[in-house]
């Protein structure tokens, strides 16, 4: 399945979400020469643990995102500049997602789960899942040529799937995933123990798959699979 993914589009709320959720898969794909595009909705300007960081955290997190891109060899990152804790499923943002899907023409979309407790994550899950459908319709011609993305999967951040539909072996790439997370130094006080969490979850998912480490995904059933 993953062998057919040549162009991958990842939607993430904040600069560290794609690392926690699917950083090992990104590393595996880019090591195989695949293209991975990341759309980050917010700069993460509320992710500070002391008042002194308030005015500088957004710029610092953007710099950390660039460091992550180098570690994971991300092809391109787009930052939409939406307010952290304020992403809404409105017409403008929805059409931006449609346009991005048509621009990058992915084989698969990876996005947030709609049962995540973070409001930005839930909003982005709904936006991108539906935008996948609308991008395929012959409408909104000024936003690009219609494009059907065959697959869409949700990834885990802090809420876990009770029954994942896909487990991807990242045993060879857990070290790189952890290196990517190490670029997010500003978040270590916000997410204490995050490095241990990432490795432990990778081991749990790996146990279910029969490998040392894995990442779990849940397939969207909003659209049918074309046979």
Class level of CATH domain 2-219: alpha beta
* CB distance 167 to 205 below 8 Å: yes
**Dist CA 42 CA 44 (whole Å):** 5
Q: Which residues contact 18 (CB under 8 A, 6 or more apart)?
A: 10, 12, 26, 38, 40, 68, 110
Parse the chain into domains and list their residue ranges: 2-219
Q: What pLDDT is attached to residue 224?
A: 83
- Spell out the per-residue pLDDT of the chain, length 227, in tens: 799 999 999 999 999 999 999 999 999 999 999 999 999 999 888 888 778 778 788 899 999 999 999 999 999 999 999 999 999 999 999 999 999 999 999 999 999 999 999 999 999 999 999 999 999 999 999 999 999 999 999 999 999 999 999 999 999 999 999 999 999 999 999 999 999 999 999 999 999 999 999 999 999 999 887 77
> 138: burial class by Cβ within 10 Å (0-12, 13-18, 19+)?
exposed
In 3D, which of 57, 149, 67, 156 has the Cα closest to residue 101?
149
| CA 162 remoteness from chain centre | 19
Q: Dihedral sign, CA of 88, 83, 12, 198?
A: negative
* CB distance 48 to 186 below 8 Å: yes
């Amino acid at each position: 399945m993953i062998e057919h993914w040549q162009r991958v589009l990842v939607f993430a709320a904040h600069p560290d979400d794609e690392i926690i959720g699917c950083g090992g898969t990104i590393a595996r794909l880019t090591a195989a020469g695949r293209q991975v595009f990341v759309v980050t909705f917010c700069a993460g300007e509320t992710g500070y643990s002391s008042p002194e960081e308030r005015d500088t955290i957004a710029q610092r997190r953007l710099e950390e995102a660039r460091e992550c891109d180098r570690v994971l060899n991300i092809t391109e990152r787009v930052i939409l500049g939406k307010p952290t804790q304020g992403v809404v499923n409105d017409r403008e943002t929805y059409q931006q997602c449609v346009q991005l899907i048509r621009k990058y023409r992915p084989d698969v979309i990876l996005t947030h789960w709609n049962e995540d407790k973070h409001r930005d994550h839930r909003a982005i899950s709904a936006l991108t899942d539906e935008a996948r459908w609308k991008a395929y319709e012959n409408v909104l011609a000024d936003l690009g040529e219609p494009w059907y993305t065959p697959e869409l999967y949700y990834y885990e951040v802090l809420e876990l799937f009770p029954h994942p539909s896909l487990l991807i072996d990242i045993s060879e790439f857990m070290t790189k995933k952890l290196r990517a997370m190490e670029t997010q130094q500003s978040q270590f006080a916000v997410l204490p123990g995050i490095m241990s969490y990432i490795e432990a979850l990778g081991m749990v998912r790996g146990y279910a798959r029969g490998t040392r480490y894995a990442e779990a995904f849940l397939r969207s059933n909003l659209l049918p699979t074309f046979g």
